[in-house]
């Protein structure tokens, strides 16, 4: 697991002046800050080793030497690397990722525009993964070795071996091209574009707020295939983890005690064993969600979904480095935050982790 292990320092037993929770909070904040700073440093260095001249990218090939020198100074390229890095961090902290060469707008503005589309897709995908994956994992553990366990194993195996972009294309070919059950690539049909006002940026939610059910139906028929695709990959992961957590619980002594007491199987599984894995599951779901944000890159390309993944790759192909790095920083930060959040939830809810 890519678990964030936070080092709380050798916790002394005696109650000292800075209380324990304060020390933990400070140390956690320090960890987050260092990790995010490291993330920025990596993207900064990537931006520096790039073989494209950042000045030429702004002014174009035919500018005069005087213009070149002016922009060179404006971008701060004459300063030492460490100072440039400081300026970069300061800019990012203020939400300034530079200007996209491709769209001519600030990168932050671009990302704010495309991000809701990715969020909508990843959320729906995770939801599908949880709703189907958790029960499947539990059943596979309870009926270990039965056909349902075999199915869950098969789903996992295929999920870990299938190129996501290829499965997406096959889905389009079958469900759109041959059967015609769902709408094709894109987020909305041409006829429905601009009908509902943008409030949240999540089309399904916006359509509900506006009460426009035609738009809702069209948006749903566009999102359902990519969401199922992402949902499948998170289902593979979530059910596999649920199964292994559940098996661990079902083999423990308190479950035997509960059975000896004569509790029903349903009671033993759901009220005793399942409640003990709920916290571990939160961690897994947070990770699955983070993975989907990343997995959406290839999926968005296939389905022409105007999210952050499409944004990064289109920018990449037109050498628009500011956008690529901005997108990388945003996804990376969310990734880090979700990791830490799941870690926090785990400590907060599980009394065993507090000792």
Partner 1 sequence: MTPQSNASAKPGLKAWLLSDTPQSRGQARAAAWYQGWLRLTSNKLTSLGLIVLTLLVLAALFAPMLATDNPFAQDLGARLKPPGWEGHYFGTDSLGRDIYSRLLYGARISIYIVLLVALVAPLLGLIIGTTAGYFGGWVDTVLMRVTDIFLAFPRLILALAFVAALGAGIENAVLAISLTAWPPYARIARAETLTIRNSDFIHAIRLQGAGPVRIITRHIWPLCISSLVIRVTLDMAGIILTAAGLGFLGLGAQPPSPEWGAMISEGRKYILDYWWVATIPGLAIFAISLAFNLIGDGLRDVLDPKESGK
Q: Mention every residue, 6+ apart, whose C-beta is less than 8 A from residue 311.
A: 110, 111, 114, 323, 327
Q: Which of 22, 26, 33, 34 is in the footprint of partner 1 by CB under 8 A?
A: 34
* Percent composition of the chain: helix, strand, coil (DSSP 3-state, to 5): 75, 0, 25
Q: Which of 28, 43, 239, 285 is in the footprint of partner 1 by CB under 8 A?
A: 43
The DSSP 8-state label assigned to residue 78 in this structure reads: T
Dihedral pair phi/psi, residue 80, rounded to 5°:
-60, 155
Residue linked to tokens 């997406």: 168
Which stretch in 96-104, 220-228, 231-239, 321-329 sits in contact with partner 1 by CB under 8 A? 321-329
CA atoms lying within 13 Å on the CB side of residue 330 = 26
SS (H, E, C) 210-277: HCCHHHHHHHHHHHHHHHHHHHHHHHHHHHHHHHHHHHHHHCCHHHHHHHHCCCCHHHHHHHHHHHHH
Query: Closest separation between CB of residue 124 and partner 1, Å?
Result: 19
**Closer Cβ to partner 1, 151 or 204, answer by number:** 151
Task: Rule CB under 8 A: say whether 49 interacts with partner 1.
Answer: yes
Can you give the C-alpha Rg of the chain in angstroms?
25
Burial of 65 (0-12, 13-18, 19+ CB in 10 A): exposed
Q: Which of 244, 263, 282, 345 is in the footprint of partner 1 by CB under 8 A?
A: 244
CA distance 124 to 130: 10
Q: Which of 26, 87, 316, 344 is in the footprint of partner 1 by CB under 8 A?
A: 316
Task: Rule CB under 8 A: say whether 249 interacts with partner 1.
Answer: no
Q: Which of 4, 103, 123, 221 is in the footprint of partner 1 by CB under 8 A?
A: 4
Dihedral pair phi/psi, residue 306, rounded to 5°:
-80, 60
Query: Closest separation between CB of residue 110 and partner 1, Å?
Result: 16
Task: Rule CB under 8 A: say whether 234 interacts with partner 1.
Answer: no
Query: Closest separation between CB of residue 48 and partner 1, Å?
Result: 8
Q: Are 216 and 207 in contact (CB under 8 A)?
A: yes
Which stretch in 82-90, 223-231, 259-267, 287-295 sits in contact with partner 1 by CB under 8 A? 287-295
Task: Rule CB under 8 A: say whether 64 interacts with partner 1.
Answer: no
Task: Rule CB under 8 A: say whether 173 interacts with partner 1.
Answer: yes
Dihedral pair phi/psi, residue 99, rounded to 5°:
-110, 140
Q: Which of 132, 208, 247, 263 is in the footprint of partner 1 by CB under 8 A?
A: 247
Site string for partner 1, 174-203 (x = CB under 8 A): ---x--------------------------
**Closer Cβ to partner 1, 99 or 299, answer by number:** 299
Residue 99 DSSP SS3 = strand
Task: Rule CB under 8 A: say whether 301 interacts with partner 1.
Answer: yes
Residue linked to tokens 């349902």: 148
Which stretch in 129-137, 225-233, 286-294, 347-355 sits in contact with partner 1 by CB under 8 A? 286-294
Q: Where along the sequence are the contacts to partner 1 (CB under 8 A)? A: 2, 4-5, 34-35, 38-39, 42-43, 46-47, 49-51, 157-158, 160-166, 169-170, 172-173, 177, 244, 247-248, 290-291, 293-295, 297-298, 301-302, 312-313, 316-317, 321, 324-325, 327-328, 331-332, 335-336, 339
């Amino acid at each position: 697991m890519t678990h964030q292990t936070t080092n709380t320092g050798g916790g002394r037993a005696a109650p000292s002046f800075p209380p324990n929770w304060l020390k933990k909070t400070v140390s956690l904040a320090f960890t987050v800050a260092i990790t995010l700073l490291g993330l920025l440093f990596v993207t900064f260095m990537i931006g520096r080793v790039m073989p494209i001249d950042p000045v030429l990218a702004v002014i174009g090939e035919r500018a005069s030497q005087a213009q070149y020198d002016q922009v060179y100074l404006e971008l701060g390229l004459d300063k030492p690397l460490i100072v440039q890095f400081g300026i970069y961090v300061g800019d990012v902290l203020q939400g300034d990722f530079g200007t996209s060469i491709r769209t001519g707008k600030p990168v932050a503005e671009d990302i704010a525009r495309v991000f809701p589309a990715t969020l909508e897709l990843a959320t729906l995908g995770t939801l599908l993964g949880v709703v189907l994956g958790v029960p499947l994992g539990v059943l596979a553990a309870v009926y270990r070795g039965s056909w349902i366990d075999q199915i869950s194993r098969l789903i996992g195996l295929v999920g870990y071996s299938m190129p996501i972009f290829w499965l997406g294309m096959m889905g389009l070919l079958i469900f759109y091209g041959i059967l015609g059950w769902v709408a094709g690539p894109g987020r909305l049909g041409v006829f429905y574009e601009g009908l509902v006002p943008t409030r949240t940026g999540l089309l399904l939610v916006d359509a509900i707020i506006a009460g426009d059910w035609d738009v809702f139906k069209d948006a749903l028929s566009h999102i359902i295939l990519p969401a199922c695709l992402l949902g499948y990959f998170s289902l593979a992961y979530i059910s596999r983890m649920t199964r292994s957590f559940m098996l661990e619980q079902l083999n423990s002594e308190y479950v035997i005690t509960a059975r000896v007491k004569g509790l029903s199987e349903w009671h033993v599984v759901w009220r005793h064993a399942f409640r003990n894995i709920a916290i571990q599951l939160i961690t897994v779901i947070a990770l699955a969600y983070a993975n989907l944000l990343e997995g959406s890159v290839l999926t968005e390309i296939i389905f022409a979904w105007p999210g952050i993944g499409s944004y990064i790759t289109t920018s990449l192909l037109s050498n628009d480095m500011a956008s690529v790095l901005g997108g990388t920083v945003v996804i990376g930060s969310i990734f880090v935050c979700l990791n830490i959040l799941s870690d926090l939830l785990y400590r907060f809810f599980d009394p065993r982790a507090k000792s």
